[in-house]
Amino acid sequence: MTIQEVINKVLAYHPKFMRYAGCDEFKCGCPEDECTGIVTAMDATVNVVKKAAELQANLIIVHEPTNYTSNDRPGWNEDFKNDVFEEKARLLKEHGIAVWRDHDHMHAHQPDGIFTGVLKNLGWEEYAEVDTSMGMFAHFIVTLPEEKETSLQKLLRKLQETIGMNGVKYIGPSDMPVRKLAIVGHLYPMQGPKSEKKHAGYPKEYSVEIIRYFEEQGVDVILPGETIDWTVLSYVRDAVELGQNKAVVALGHFNWEEMGMRYAKEWVQQLVGPEIPVAYVPTGDMWNYRV
């Protein structure tokens, strides 16, 4: 089976896009080469590339950009030399490895392919309900049964150990009880939901709408990806200073979605069958913490 035939199977598995022109494409490599093995990973870091070579895998399926830019076009297309890019490109070429990005198609699943992996790996799949009311990402409200109620401290330990993080940033009383959680989208400045009514000439702010989960749905903890400090996080900090039990756990974008690529290993293996080995390689936490 060629690398292109593997990707054709992946695309057949995903929802279809009309006239797609997004970021899901080959970033490097020869699609017509025979596929010797597949690695799923959050990002094609240098260490992931080296591990793929050790595994004799010549296809890496990633979720996030390979080439250090948001548009993530193949190659380095800026007007200055990038020694780091060139060294990684040399490494990929030396080992004959192709990199294909699976981002938009994976998020297009209902439910979302990345969030499904997060829920599966945390053991929350049967407790989750999908909320699509904000018109952007599908949000998952996890309501733990009474016997599964935990504390924020225990939740932090579970997240750190399951994901493999070097530390966890959070706001909230560490001993507070946790029963209801919301896995929400990335918190950006003035990121409004689609088709949202305007207020004073501006679309409703997505980050502010997440506060509604705390106020109206009794959510104890939210788990966003990217975060900004002046909306939900400031609200939670003030709530804590007022003696309320509310919390935010800031896992970080890559750590947060890493479990989705661990799950991808399972369905990619089912697609290609036993003749092509598929391995998940964690990118690992990029942050170090000085305590």
pTM as predicted: 0.92
Q: State the pLDDT at residue 265.
A: 98
Q: What is the CATH number of the domain that holds 159?
A: 3.40.1390.30
Q: State the pLDDT at residue 138.
A: 61
270: helix, strand or coil: helix
Please determine, for residue 201, whether its predicted confidence score (pLDDT) is greater than 70.
Answer: no
In a shared domain, residues 214 and 247: yes
In a shared domain, residues 132 and 214: yes
Give the alpha-carbon dihedral of 104, 106, 111, 115, to 10 degrees: -100
pLDDT (tens digit per residue) in 136-145: 566 899 999 9
**Residue 287 belongs to some domain of the structure:** no
Residue 138 neighbours by CB under 8 Å, 6+ apart? 110, 111, 112, 115, 130, 131, 132
Who has greater pLDDT, 111 or 184? 184
Work out how many domains the chain is built from and give that number: 2
In a shared domain, residues 154 and 244: yes
Could you list the residue range(s) of the whole structural domain that residue 74 is in?
A: 3-107+256-280
Looking from the CA of 24 toward its CB, the CA atoms found within 13 Å total 19
pLDDT (tens digit per residue) in 54-109: 999 999 999 999 999 999 999 999 999 999 999 999 999 999 999 999 999 999 98
Q: State the pLDDT at residue 192.
A: 61
Least confident range of 68-82, 201-215, 250-264: 201-215
Report how far apart, in Å, the C-alpha atoms of 36 and of each of 2, 45, 88, 274, 278 are: 9, 20, 20, 12, 10
**Residue 289 belongs to some domain of the structure:** no
Q: Which two tokens stand for residue 45?
A: 């870091």
Residue 201 has phi, psi (to 5 degrees) of 90, -5
**Residue 291 belongs to some domain of the structure:** no
